[in-house]
Amino acid sequence: MSHPRTPARRGLVWAIVGGIIVLAAVGAIILSAVTAQAPTADPSPSSGPGETSAPPATAPPTGDYVDQSASEKGWAPEPITTDPETYVRAALAAAATFDTRLSTRPEWLAYLDTWFTPDTRYTSEEDREEDMRASQLELRQGVVLPEDEWNSLANEEGRVTAEVPGEITYDDVPEDASGDMRIGTADVVLTFTRSDGSGSETSYDETVRVSVQVLCGAGSIPTRESAQQPGDCKVVRYFSGSLEP
């Protein structure tokens, strides 16, 4: 009974197989047409031949510095000094001096890491290293301008220079038997400069009050491959939040 229907059934099977092949072929053609389209370029601006390179944000420093070329990247160079006044002033400025045209935020933060030295109140090397890493994390998460602000500035070729024009107030560091560590607090004037969408630039100032703990004396670890010596001033930590009422 089923023998006479076998050729027809076989034909139906082939027809279904053929139909699937036809649809698969059509699908493949459509897919290849879609995927073969060239990717569109991001509309981000690129430097044209007529554009000039951005000048350094800060003037080349004079005197002794760990890396004088830091200013070429828009950063504040670290002074080589044993004078807390000079160093605190520089450290407070450094944590808000950058040029988004000349470096990335991670590069700038890595540079600021080189200013740090461990807190000598810890007796073990391991604790000192751990505390310094925590202070460097605090710098990123609680002290410097946040990444959103960096990106906002970068969108408008922004940079910031900071300076401490006034007096610095000092506090002792608790349980510091050496007396070599100090906490300096001062008003820091941040000057923001950014393009205004019409090709020209606008600048404005903002004043914040920030504290930094420095070590000027035995136990400070100099930056590698620099002229800095043990005993020269280094940063122990920047403080997130105000230390004053």
Based on the shown chain and the rule CB under 8 A, indicate whether residue 134 belongs to the binding site for another protein.
no
Given a contact cutoff of 8 angstroms between Cβ atoms, the answer to whether 93 and 189 are in contact is no
DSSP 117: -
Residue 243 Cβ, how far from another protein at the closest point, in Å? 10
DSSP 179: -
Residue 163 Cβ, how far from another protein at the closest point, in Å? 13
Q: Which residues ranging from 45 to 104 are in contact with another protein (CB under 8 A)?
A: 95-96
Element spanning 105, H or E = helix 105-113
Q: Which of 127, 167, 206, 230 binds another protein (CB under 8 A)?
A: 206
Length of the chain equals 245
Residue 182 Cβ, how far from another protein at the closest point, in Å? 18
Pick the closest to residue 217 from 159, 176, 169, 156 (CA basis).
Answer: 176
Based on the shown chain and the rule CB under 8 A, indicate whether residue 43 belongs to the binding site for another protein.
no
Strand 234-238, strand 159-163: pairing: unpaired
Q: Which of 113, 149, 157, 187 binds another protein (CB under 8 A)?
A: 149
Q: How far apart are CA 66 and CA 89, in angstroms?
A: 16
Based on the shown chain and the rule CB under 8 A, indicate whether residue 144 belongs to the binding site for another protein.
yes
Given a contact cutoff of 8 angstroms between Cβ atoms, the answer to whether 163 and 94 are in contact is no
Residue 162 Cβ, how far from another protein at the closest point, in Å? 8
Tell me the helix, strand and coil percentages in the chain, rounded to 5: 35, 20, 45
Q: Which of 26, 28, 137, 227 binds another protein (CB under 8 A)?
A: 26
Instruction: Say how far residue 183 (Cα) sits from the centre of its chain.
Output: 24
Based on the shown chain and the rule CB under 8 A, indicate whether residue 156 belongs to the binding site for another protein.
yes
Nearer Cβ to another protein (111/128) = 111
Q: Which of 39, 45, 241, 245 binds another protein (CB under 8 A)?
A: 241
Q: Using CB under 8 A as the criterion, which residues of the chain lie in contact with another protein when the complex forms?
A: 8, 11-12, 14-19, 21-23, 26, 30, 95-96, 141-146, 148-149, 152, 156, 162, 188, 190, 192, 194, 196-198, 200, 202, 204, 206-208, 210-211, 238-242
